[in-house]
């Protein structure tokens, strides 16, 4: 059984009491007079605004559009060769696009809700992210940068005959995010201090932690050990987790592993934490402590001042999911303590292994 980070439109609507037709119609009213107020007011790169304006008018030079203009060429997608290259296929249904969306920070399954037009699909997510995060939602920035990255990777393939892989698209996404970040006001975290805060405080092993929910001494607690494995060259990532101290046959692990792609070792560790919490919730565990060897993960969960756009949403999801437990705590432990979880994560990143095993029954609530 594979555990997916599912942010399909149906899933989002159910969890946020949203009517997708109403959300799209509200934005379409804004765009019907040609002003694109939502688009123009967004704090994004000017070239992104122009590109999106043309994209939402179906005015970019996809092969299908070029064919309609009388240009003689094959209209099949150069990335997958499976369908005609229109905007729906290129940015949603192409196998490369699907892999980029599902393995990226937002975890969107772009192939779902196929009856929605591209404009409806795009405007739905922009509206949703702005509604939840505010006008300058970092998720909107990542969403738009992903579309831009897919377009650049496609052009790289057609005009330079260079291979297009998920890693190539992620590289273009990162370039776009870096360019966007250069234009943003620089945050000066120590302006309000007479001198910078002291460096990291050293905690005894097991004492550096963040409590997300509950009171510790109100019942038995289940312990889940997690770790991530990341390959810098390929961007392949693996997340592994297991339930500690369970009396089960030696050939069966209560826990899971998932393969994917990631931009950093830290992002991989953060994803492992989120996946383990979702697994614990599905397993019916009510009181859980997560053991990780990442000091930075615990540090980020202590603070709301995260600057890395690729971590903001995942950290917010960890906090939100953690609050659904009667007790939830993330503990920093020594590297040796997470070795078995690391072995799972390494197998996932190396062999693209994914699995999820649950207890037959669980009474530790």
Residues 101-111: pLDDT tens digits? 988 878 889 99
Q: Is the pLDDT of residue 255 over 80?
A: yes
pLDDT cut 70: percent of the chain above it: 78
Q: Which of 69-83, 180-194, 232-246, 341-355 has the lowest mean pLDDT?
A: 180-194
Cβ neighbours, 10 Å, residue 178: 10
Identify the DSSP state of 32.
T
Given a contact cutoff of 8 angstroms between Cβ atoms, the answer to whether 285 and 325 are in contact is yes
pLDDT value of position 132: 82
Average pLDDT along the chain: 80
Mean pLDDT of 120-125: 90
3-state SS class at 213: strand
DSSP 312-360: HHHHHHHHHHHTTSSEEEEEE--GGGGHHHHHHHHHHHHH---EEE--S
pLDDT of residue 248: 55
Place of tokens 């019942």: 219
Select from 303, 298, 342, 270 the least CA-distant residue to 203: 298
Please say whether the beta carbons of 100 and 108 come within 8 A: no
- Residue with more model confidence, 32 or 237: 237
What would the pLDDT profile of 196-221 be if each residue is shown by its tens digit? 343 444 445 556 889 999 887 777 88
| 224 — pLDDT class (breaks 50, 70, 90) | very high
> What integer pLDDT is reported at residue 42 of this predicted model?
83
- For residue 2, give the 3-state DSSP assignment: coil
Residue 243's beta-bridge partner residues?
224
H-helix segments, the chain: 9-16, 20-31, 37-41, 46-56, 63-68, 87-88, 95-103, 118-133, 138-160, 166-182, 265-282, 295-302, 309-322, 339-351
In whole angstroms, give the CA distance from residue 1 to residue 354.
8
Q: In the β-sheet with 327-332, what is the strand arrangement from edge to edge?
A: 209-213, 327-332, 287-292, 222-230, 236-243, 255-261, 355-357
Phi, psi (rounded to 5 degrees) for 205: -55, 130
| C-alpha distance from residue 151 to each of 79, 110, 210, 235, 251 (Å) | 11, 16, 40, 20, 46
Q: Is the pTM of this model over 0.75?
A: no
What are 10-42's pLDDT values in tens digits? 444 444 454 544 444 444 434 444 446 777 778
Q: pLDDT tens digit string along 130-186?
A: 888 888 888 888 999 999 999 999 999 888 888 888 888 988 888 888 888 765 554
**Domain coordinates of the chain in residue numbers?**
9-182, 209-357
Q: Picking from 8-12, 100-104, 293-297, 317-321, which range would have the lowest pLDDT averaged per residue?
A: 8-12
Task: Answer whether residue 9 shows pLDDT above 50.
Answer: no
Question: What does DSSP assign to residue 93?
Answer: I
Instruction: Identify the pLDDT of residue 297.
Output: 92
**117 near 96, Cβ under 8 Å?**
no
CATH superfamily ID and name for 209-357 = Ribonuclease H-like superfamily/Ribonuclease H (3.30.420.10)
> What count of other Cβ atoms lies within 10 Å of the Cβ of residue 271?
26
Is residue 268 within 8 Å of 310, Cβ to Cβ?
no
Task: Look at residues 357, 351, 343 and name the one whose alpha carbon lies nearest to residue 229.
Answer: 343
Between CA 135 and CA 140 the distance in angstroms is 9
Quick check: 95 pLDDT over 80? yes
The pair of structure tokens assigned to 264 is 């950093």
């Amino acid at each position: 059984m594979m555990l997916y980070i599912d942010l399909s439109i149906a899933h989002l609507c159910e969890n946020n009491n949203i009517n997708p037709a109403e959300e799209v119609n509200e934005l379409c009213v804004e765009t019907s007079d040609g002003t694109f107020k939502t688009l123009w007011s967004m704090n994004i790169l000017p070239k992104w605004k122009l590109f999106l304006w043309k994209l939402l008018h179906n005015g970019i030079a996809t092969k299908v559009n070029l064919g309609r203009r009388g240009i003689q060429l094959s209209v099949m997608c150069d990335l997958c060769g499976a369908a005609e290259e229109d905007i729906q296929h290129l940015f949603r249904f192409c196998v490369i696009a699907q892999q980029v969306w599902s393995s990226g920070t937002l975890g969107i399954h772009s192939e779902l809700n196929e009856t929605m037009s591209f404009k409806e699909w795009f405007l739905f997510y922009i509206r949703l992210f702005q509604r939840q995060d505010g006008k300058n939602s970092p998720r909107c920035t990542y969403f738009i940068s992903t579309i831009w990255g897919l377009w650049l990777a496609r052009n790289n393939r057609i005009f330079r005959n260079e291979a297009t892989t998920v890693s190539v698209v992620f590289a273009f996404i990162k370039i776009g995010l870096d360019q966007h970040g250069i234009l943003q006001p620089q945050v000066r975290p120590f302006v309000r201090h007479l001198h910078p805060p002291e460096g990291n405080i050293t905690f005894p092993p097991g004492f550096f932690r963040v409590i997300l929910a509950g009171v510790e001494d109100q019942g038995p607690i289940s312990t889940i050990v997690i770790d991530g494995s990341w390959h810098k060259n390929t961007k392949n990532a693996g997340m592994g987790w297991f339930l500690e101290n369970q009396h089960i046959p030696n050939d069966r692990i209560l826990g899971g592993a998932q393969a994917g792609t990631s931009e950093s070792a830290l992002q991989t560790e953060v994803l492992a934490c989120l996946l383990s919490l979702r697994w614990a919730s599905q397993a019916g565990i009510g009181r859980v402590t997560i053991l990780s060897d990442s000091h930075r993960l615990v540090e980020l969960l202590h603070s709301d001042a995260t600057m890395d756009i690729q971590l903001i949403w995942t950290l917010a999801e960890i906090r939100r999911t953690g609050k659904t437990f009667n007790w939830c705590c993330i503990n920093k432990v020594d590297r040796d303590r997470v070795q078995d979880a690391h072995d799972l994560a390494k197998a996932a990143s190396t062999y693209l292994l994914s699995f999820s095993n649950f207890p037959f029954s669980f009474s530790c609530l």
